[in-house]
Amino acid sequence: MTREGDALRKRALFEAWMAEHQPFSVPLAEKGEPIHRRSVMARLTSLAGRQKAAEYVYVLSERRPDEVTPAYIGKTRSPAARWNQHLTALAQGEAHYARWRQRFLREGHETVRFDLDLLVVGEPHIAFPPLPGFPTTIGAVEYQLVGLAADAYPLRLLNHEGQAR
C-alpha cells in the first residue's frame, strides 16, 4: 500500500470511530466567538455526568471549511477538572499553550479561528476500538487515536506525546 493509501485508510478508521461516538460531542466555541468558560464547563459537566465513567478519552477538533481536523487527544478521570486546566492555561497562553493560542485564536483577539468541538467518551461507552482487534481501554484508545491522527492529518496534533510514531 502506498503512503497516501495508508494515510487515507487511517483517516477512514479515525473518522468512523469519531462518527460512531458523535453523541458524546459538545461545542467548545464557534468561529469568531470567544470561548465562554462557564457554558463550556456546564455542557462538559452534563455530558460527563450522563456517562458516569471512571475514565474518559477526549478529542478536541477544529471544524475547518474543508474538514474536521483533530487538534488534541487526551484521557482523564475528570473531564471537568482537566478542561478547566486546559482553558485556564489557554487563557494565560504560557508554555506549550502559546501554541494552542496561535492555532485556535485570531491574532490579537480572544476569538476562535474555527469552530471547536470536544468529544468526551467514557470507557463503558466506547462502541469499538479505533483499530479493529485492538483493546478498548481508555489508554489503548487514546494511543490508537493519537497514532491514527498523527499519520492521517497534515496538521500536527498539539499533544507532545505520540507525535513521532
CB 146 within 8 A of CB 152: no
pTM of the predicted protein model: 0.94
| Single-letter residue type at 42 | A
pLDDT, average across residues 145-159: 93
Q: What is the pLDDT of residues 66-96, one digit of tens each?
A: 889 999 999 999 999 999 999 999 999 888 8
Q: What's the confidence (pLDDT) of residue 78?
A: 96
| Single-letter residue type at 80 | A
Scanning the structure block, which residue is given the C-alpha cell 471547536? 116
